[in-house]
Amino acid sequence: MLWIQPCTLYQIYHRYYNRLDEFPTEDNPNLTVKLPGLPVFNADELPSFVLPSNTYTSFDGILNEAFHNLNKVKWVLGNSFMELEKDVIMSLNATGCKFWPVGPLVPVLGKEIDDRFDVYKVDDKNECIEWLNEQKPSSVVYISFGTILSMPKKELENIAAGLKSINRPFLWVIRSLENQEFGFLEEIKEQGLVVSWSPQTEVLSHPSVGCFLTHCGWNSLLESIVAGVPIVACPKWTDQPTNAKLVTDVWRVGVKLKDSGGVISGEEVGRCVEEVMSRSRSEELRKNALELKASALEALADNGSSDKYIKMFVNEVISSCSSCSEQN
């Protein structure tokens, strides 16, 4: 089985759906949770599917069935790497589970597919990269909330207000840009570039990018880690609050936006971006991010941790196939 979320999520779901630990309930919605190999989680730092407030019952059913049939799974290959989630990976393997991290399974700059096979136009890439080429090193705030999440217009307005207040250049991806009118963007259009799509791997790896304001989807986080870019976390649902916890408290490569009634303010956006870009913690966050980048690249290199697990998996599959052939 290929697990495409963090190993941390696997451990949480495994222990939740198999009733191995106590989790928040309607009677005790604020219960804190401590699981093997993981830090203490407050209720609002857990994935939304394990909370009593969860309304996505169809997803809950799928996960429940999957984690009750794990005894049928011989290997779990995780989209992570040992150096990123060592404690929880070791804890999982100590229970007899073959949980092998083989990631990060994201593009690494210099190893992307040829542009001829890219589904996006080269012109779309060039607009972003050419603009970034004109900016100073580590000066740009890159903002993107993935391909699924749609931000309320009020929050977009607040982000714009926050960007205006700090007067930093920004590259902002708004997927619905072509279908809606955003008058608030007029006030900051000279300050940055707003697009409906960006070549995220190339953008994050560009030397002018100083931080990444993200929803904390796992792929986006891995891309940021591979690029060594500090993070401003704006999680909303599913695994995102848990991923943000890892960003701020475990890896210490970013800060989290605090919302008020579920809505982030412009002041909070400005405060968090400045904390990552220029205040006392910025050097520490960037140092940690660059160390994680080095660890990710080492894991993918020949005889790195992920490379070794891939080879182990291939060898076991070949061995299993050979045994089946001999029996027949």
pTM for this entry: 0.91
What was the pLDDT predicted at 2?
Answer: 95
Q: How confident is the model at residue 101 (pLDDT cuts 50, 70, 90)?
A: very high
Quick one: average pLDDT of 292-310?
97
Mean pLDDT, all residues of the chain: 91
What was the pLDDT predicted at 260?
Answer: 80
Q: How confident is the model at residue 327 (pLDDT cuts 50, 70, 90)?
A: low
HEC profile of the chain: CEECCCHHHHHHHHHHHCCCCCCCCCCCCCCCEECCCCCEECHHHCCHHHCCCCCCHHHHHHHHHHHCCHHHCCCEEECCCCCCCHHHHHHHHHCCCCEEECCCCCCCCCCCCCHHHCCCCHHHHHHHHHHHHCCCCCCEEEEECCCCCCCCHHHHHHHHHHHHHHCCCEEEECHHHHCCCCHHHHHHCCCEEEECCCCHHHHHCCCCEEEEEECCCHHHHHHHHHHCCCEEECCCCCCHHHHHHHHHHHCCCEEECCCECCECCHHHHHHHHHHHHCCCCHHHHHHHHHHHHHHHHHHHCCCCHHHHHHHHHHHHHHHHHHHHHHHC
For 149, phi then psi, to 5°, come to -70, 130
* pLDDT at 266 exceeding the cut of 80: yes
What was the pLDDT predicted at 261?
Answer: 78
Over the stretch 7-55, which tens digit does the pLDDT of each residue have?
999 999 999 999 999 999 999 999 999 999 999 999 999 999 999 998 8
Quick one: average pLDDT of 235-255?
96
For each of the domains in the chain, give its residue range(s) and CATH number, in order of start: 2-101 (3.40.50.2000), 115-294 (3.40.50.2000)
What was the pLDDT predicted at 175?
Answer: 82
What was the pLDDT predicted at 115?
Answer: 47
* pLDDT at 182 exceeding the cut of 70: yes
What was the pLDDT predicted at 114?
Answer: 47
What was the pLDDT predicted at 177?
Answer: 66
What was the pLDDT predicted at 4?
Answer: 96
What was the pLDDT predicted at 323?
Answer: 64
Over the stretch 108-153, which tens digit does the pLDDT of each residue have?
765 544 444 444 445 567 899 999 999 999 999 999 998 776 788 8
What was the pLDDT predicted at 116?
Answer: 43
Range of weakest confidence among 86-100, 190-204, 217-231, 309-323: 309-323
- Could you tell me what percent of the chain has a pLDDT over 90? 73
What was the pLDDT predicted at 326?
Answer: 62
* pLDDT at 213 exceeding the cut of 90: yes
Over the stretch 61-97, which tens digit does the pLDDT of each residue have?
889 999 988 888 999 999 999 999 999 999 999 998 8
Q: How confident is the model at residue 185 (pLDDT cuts 50, 70, 90)?
A: confident
